[in-house]
Amino acid sequence: MTSRQNRERSPEIRLDDVAKRIIELLQEDGRQSYAAIAKAVGLSEAAVRQRVQRLLDADVMQIVAVTDPLQVGFRRQAMIGVRASGNLLDLGEALSAMPEVDYVVTTAGSFDVLAEVVCEDDDHLLELLTQRIRPLPGVTSTETFVYLKLNKQHYNWGTR
């Protein structure tokens, strides 16, 4: 199932102050126990477990292990700017289905779609671009921004 389909099927959820605090605590440390979170927000462990499950089911958040691609065998990351004609939602879905693509956004500006990719090496990136991305229906051009150094990446931006 694609992320767009997940969002379309997810039940609406209202984020009260407790839900926001639970999210913020998990952004700080996704391995915190339900007991520790319960103590911090003033609920029972069972209530926190239920709230976390609702947040997960509604795609408000994910709890995952974030890896450093270089440490697990992926030597090339890049952002690919795609200019396209036609249905951008279909293009976004096609890119999202590729295992190397970890982030896709439809944009306003110089590019219609941006896709971040994680590849084993430059040959893998070249194959992905020339054999799988550029031939997609509607793609008119691409521009690739190869990552040289990751200066900052964080996930604890809080809630509003």
CATH code of residue 12: 1.10.10.10
Pairing state between β 139-146 and 113-119: unpaired
In a domain, 155, yes or no: no
pTM: 0.79
In a domain, 64, yes or no: no
Split into its structural domains, the chain has a count of: 2
Task: Find tokens 């959820």 and name the residue.
Answer: 13
Predicted pLDDT of residue 24: 95
What residues make up the domain containing 136? 69-146
Query: Residue 2 above 80 pLDDT?
Result: no
| 3-60 pLDDT tens trace | 444 445 555 678 999 999 999 999 999 999 999 999 999 999 999 999 999 999 999 9
In a domain, 157, yes or no: no
Nearest residue to 132 via CA among 104, 105, 101, 157: 101
Query: Does one domain contain both 53 and 87?
Result: no
> What confidence category does residue 155 fall into, taking pLDDT thresholds of 50, 70 and 90?
confident
How many CB atoms neighbour CB 8 within 10 A?
9
- CA angle 72-124-132, nearest 5°? 125
- Asked if residues 59 and 1 have their Cβ atoms less than 8 Å apart, the reply is no
